[in-house]
DNA sequence: TTGTACGCGTTATCAC
DNA sequence: GTGATAACGCGTACAA
């Protein structure tokens, strides 16, 4: 059974104590430079590798950040996570990623796992289902900082980074109105998610502010299962007063809508304009290109992890439950 | 300073020894059911959380798998990783993800980090740049199993999971030939990557086997920077004998090619057919839809992690350097 | 400058 | 069934 090389092994070989070896390895000032040299050489030769576990145990610090996100099914979270990983690595931290698959139970289980792994901080984007926040409270109670991404939790005071969905949606709908559209429909996501609520609000207010009536029949809440989009599009076109634009809650829905419209022999944006949300992969691949709101993914990841790393270093008394709200820009391609 | 609740705290409160507490918590058989009950109750009440670090230290086992991939810039790795995470979680393992950004130095640094974190196994997809494999050898030397994903390393004997790029490319090119194309171009990726080499081989052999000449001017090696695609497309169309089809090494290139062809006023696939590789997000968004080879992402992730978990459990003497080669299916949409 | 002794939180091996 | 005691690998007061 091959066991690892420890500082004790090095110490024996050099006839010194393991504390001296430790000092050499950690770069402690009080050590003879020759001793240190020979330790480093031998360590190299013996292919010594520090055991991070024991150090973490002693220092009660793991240099690990837990990242809890719902899914990787669009480009959004992968891109956010990539940026988070990059920034964290620069600061000497590693990340442990957990996917909740938008399932509350999985989210709780993963949170418990990250807790028992003694992460130094938690970056979390809650699942759509999550209504109970005890799993996050456990972190707070232990003095482990938590930053929310794209999520709201009114019970808990913790910093969060989000996109200004309201403003963005408002902007998108107003753009449609300015380009002459009158019957703008909203393909909405599940109302359980605060994100979707904010997008709906932006839609509603843009209509009101511009003197357009809110028509219930044009607001379609759906579960984001793409196969239903075609049905909705057909419905919108067959209304007594057909819709002339769709503001979709996300890009995949918008892309699906464009396909449906075209398959019915109609033109985008003349017969029906479409605007999405996210600017995911694929948004520029449609014909016409999808006009959509750009999610500032890298910036979101960067803000969130920087906020969290700052909290990790600061004393808990310095923590502030600030909300960082980033703007989503409207990218005009051709679908609206 | 709030410190964590330990088994010793529980022991004191109940006037028993910490060994007994440990036994209760781990479900050891030799323990009075009443004692156990009171321990579990108190643990719950005190919000006790096991410290995985110390257990890992003592058991020399972390239940952690290192996952080292190049990037998250297409849907490929995120989807693979999502599946790996799912399967690993089922088996009680967590994963630590590291992105190398296709940079050799980063890859080496990340590997060292994972090593010092004492991962139980490593799943790695090498960067394009990687030519030296010492960082992987270190794992092997310590008895930590490594599985390669989509990578080749002739120096090292380790299992790998890959797509049968050769067969897939052969299939795609043959499909183009059958549909009447004669001057099939290949937009190739950097030759340093074995994956790209295999795709090129499949292209070449399909031509040969079907009696078509290999024309050097139709083979374009490029660095996958999408902004160059338009130039290449124009070049291919302006040849004395213009190309009539493009087999692109990946989907983004193919999608870019379709756009370029259409922007020049030509038709896909009549004037120029296009086939991609990967079936990434966006492949079904183009007009016409992109005909491409489907990367069996979930299956690849599953195979790789299952192979690795098996090795983690087995003795090193049982390890076999098998190669698991999965088939990529041709998805015919409209671009060819 | 170096060595000794202890502790981090837990499990394992002995006794009893 | 339970309790000491020794590990796991390392850092660090404290003493020398």
Both A169 and A290 in one domain: the answer is yes
Backbone angles phi, psi at B187, to 5 degrees: -90, 100
Q: Cis ω on the peptide bond leading into residue B288 (within 30° of 0)?
A: yes
Both A44 and A110 in one domain: the answer is no
Whether B119 is in a domain gets the answer: yes
For residue B178, give both structure tokens. 């059958």
Per-residue pLDDT of chain B in tens (336 residues, 90 and over written 9):
457 899 999 999 999 999 999 999 999 988 999 999 999 999 999 999 999 999 999 999 999 999 999 999 888 999 999 999 999 999 999 999 999 999 999 999 999 999 999 999 999 999 988 889 999 999 999 999 999 998 888 888 899 999 999 999 999 999 999 999 999 999 999 988 888 999 999 999 999 999 999 999 999 999 999 999 999 999 999 999 999 999 999 999 999 999 999 999 999 999 999 999 999 888 988 889 999 999 999 999 999 999 999 999 999 899 999 999 999 999 999 999
Whether B334 is in a domain gets the answer: no
pLDDT for res A3:
75
Number of separate domains in chain B = 3
User: If we measure between CA atoms, which residue out of A125, A129, A118, A145 comes closest to residue A67?
Assistant: A125
Scanning every strand, the nucleotide with its C1' closest to B10's CA turns out to be C9
Both B278 and B172 in one domain: the answer is yes
Both A284 and A309 in one domain: the answer is no
Both A272 and A218 in one domain: the answer is yes
Q: How far apart, in whole angstroms, are the C-alpha atoms of residue A60 and residue B32?
A: 33
- Can you state the angle between helices B33-45 and B18-26, rounded to 10 degrees? 90
Whether A336 is in a domain gets the answer: no
Backbone angles phi, psi at A96, to 5 degrees: -115, 120
Both A98 and A153 in one domain: the answer is yes
For residue A302, give both structure tokens. 């960067």
Q: Which nucleotides of D are covered by protein (CB under 7 A)?
A: 1-5, 7-13
Other Cβ atoms less than 10 A from the Cβ of B176: the count is: 27
Both B27 and B143 in one domain: the answer is no
Chain B nearest CA to A80, separation (Å): 10
Is B53 in CB contact (< 8 Å) with chain A? yes
Q: Cis ω on the peptide bond leading into residue B269 (within 30° of 0)?
A: yes
User: If we measure between CA atoms, which residue out of A248, A249, A183 comes closest to residue A213?
Assistant: A183
Which parts of the protein come within 7 Å of strand D, by CB position?
Answer: A 3-4, 6-8, 18-19, 22-23, 25-26, 28, 48, 50-51, 54-55, 57-59; B 15-20, 23, 30-32, 35-36, 54, 57-58, 60
Q: Which residues of A288-304 are buried (b: 16+ CB within 10 A; e: fewer)?
A: bbbbbbbbbbebbbbbb
Chain B nearest CA to A286, separation (Å): 5
Whether A56 is in a domain gets the answer: no
Which residue stretches of chain B are H helix?
A: 7-14, 18-26, 33-45, 52-59, 76-90, 104-116, 134-141, 165-178, 194-209, 229-238, 251-263, 297-313
Both A290 and A301 in one domain: the answer is no
User: If we measure between CA atoms, which residue out of A204, A326, A335 comes closest to residue A282?
Assistant: A335
Q: How far apart, in whole angstroms, are the C-alpha atoms of residue A154 and residue A194?
A: 11
Both B206 and B249 in one domain: the answer is yes
Domain interval for residue B195:
165-294
Is B335 in CB contact (< 8 Å) with chain A? no
The protein residue nearest C2 (Cα–C1') is A20
What are the tens digits of pLDDT across the range A161-173? 999 999 999 999 9
- Whether residue B117 and residue A53 make contact (CB cut-off 8 A), yes or no, is yes
Per-residue pLDDT of chain A in tens (336 residues, 90 and over written 9):
457 899 999 999 999 999 999 999 998 888 999 999 999 999 999 999 999 999 999 999 999 999 999 999 888 999 999 999 999 999 999 999 999 999 999 999 999 999 999 999 999 999 988 889 999 999 999 999 999 998 888 888 899 999 999 999 999 999 999 999 999 999 999 988 888 999 999 999 999 999 999 999 999 999 999 999 999 999 999 999 999 999 999 999 999 999 999 999 999 999 999 999 999 888 988 889 999 999 999 999 999 999 999 999 999 899 999 999 999 999 999 999
Closest by Cβ to B287, choosing from A50, A98, A287: A287
The protein residue nearest D5 (Cα–C1') is B19
CATH of the domain at A76: 3.40.50.2300
User: If we measure between CA atoms, which residue out of A225, A282, A220 comes closest to residue A248?
Assistant: A220
Is A59 in CB contact (< 8 Å) with chain B? no
Chain B nearest CA to A214, separation (Å): 31
Whether A12 is in a domain gets the answer: yes
Whether B2 is in a domain gets the answer: no
Is B96 in CB contact (< 8 Å) with chain A? yes
* Residues sharing a CB contact under 8 Å with residue A35, sequence separation 6 or more, in sequence order: A16, A20, A24
Both A109 and A39 in one domain: the answer is no
For residue A162, give both structure tokens. 């989000």
Both B105 and B91 in one domain: the answer is yes
CATH of the domain at A31: 1.10.260.40
Both B118 and B264 in one domain: the answer is no
pTM greater than 0.85 (yes/no): yes
Is B65 in CB contact (< 8 Å) with chain A? no
User: If we measure between CA atoms, which residue out of A50, A57, A55, A51 comes closest to residue A117?
Assistant: A57
Whether A271 is in a domain gets the answer: yes
């Amino acid at each position: 059974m091959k066991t690892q090389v420890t500082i004790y092994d090095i110490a024996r070989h050099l006839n010194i104590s393991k504390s001296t070896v430790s000092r050499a390895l950690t770069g402690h000032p009080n050590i003879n430079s020759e001793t240190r040299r020979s330790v480093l050489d031998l360590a190299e030769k013996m292919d010594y590798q520090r055991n991070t576990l024991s150090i973490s145990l002693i220092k009660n610090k793991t240099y690990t950040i837990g990242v809890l996100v719902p899914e990787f099914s669009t480009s959004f979270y992968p891109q956010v996570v990539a940026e988070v990983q990059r920034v964290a690595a620069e600061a000497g931290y590693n990340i442990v990623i957990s996917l909740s698959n938008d399932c509350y139970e999985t989210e709780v289980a993963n949170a418990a796992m990250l807790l028992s792994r003694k992460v130094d901080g938690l970056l979390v984007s809650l699942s759509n289902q999550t209504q109970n926040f005890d799993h996050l409270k456990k972190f707070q109670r232990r003095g482990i900082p938590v930053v929310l991404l794209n999520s709201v939790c009114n019970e808990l005071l913790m910093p969060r980074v989000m996109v200004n969905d309201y403003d963005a949606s408002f902007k998108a709908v107003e753009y449609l109105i300015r380009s002459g559209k009158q019957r703008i429909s909203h393909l909405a996501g599940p109302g359980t998610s605060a994100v979707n609520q904010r997008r709906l609000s932006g839609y509603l207010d843009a209509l009101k502010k511009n003197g357009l009536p809110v028509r219930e029949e044009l607001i379609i809440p759906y579960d984001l299962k793409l196969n239903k989009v075609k049905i909705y599009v057909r419905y919108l076109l067959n209304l007594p007063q057909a819709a002339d634009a769709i503001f979709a809650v996300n890009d995949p829905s918008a892309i699906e809508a464009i396909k449906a419209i075209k398959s019915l022999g109609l033109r985008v944006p003349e017969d029906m304009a479409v605007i999405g949300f996210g600017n995911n992969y694929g948004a520029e691949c449609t014909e016409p290109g999808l006009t959509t709101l750009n999610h500032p993914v890298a910036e979101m990841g960067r803000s969130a992890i920087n906020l969290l790393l700052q909290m990790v270093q600061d004393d808990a008394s310095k923590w502030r439950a600030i909300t960082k709200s980033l703007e989503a820009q409207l990218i005009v391609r051709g679908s609206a």
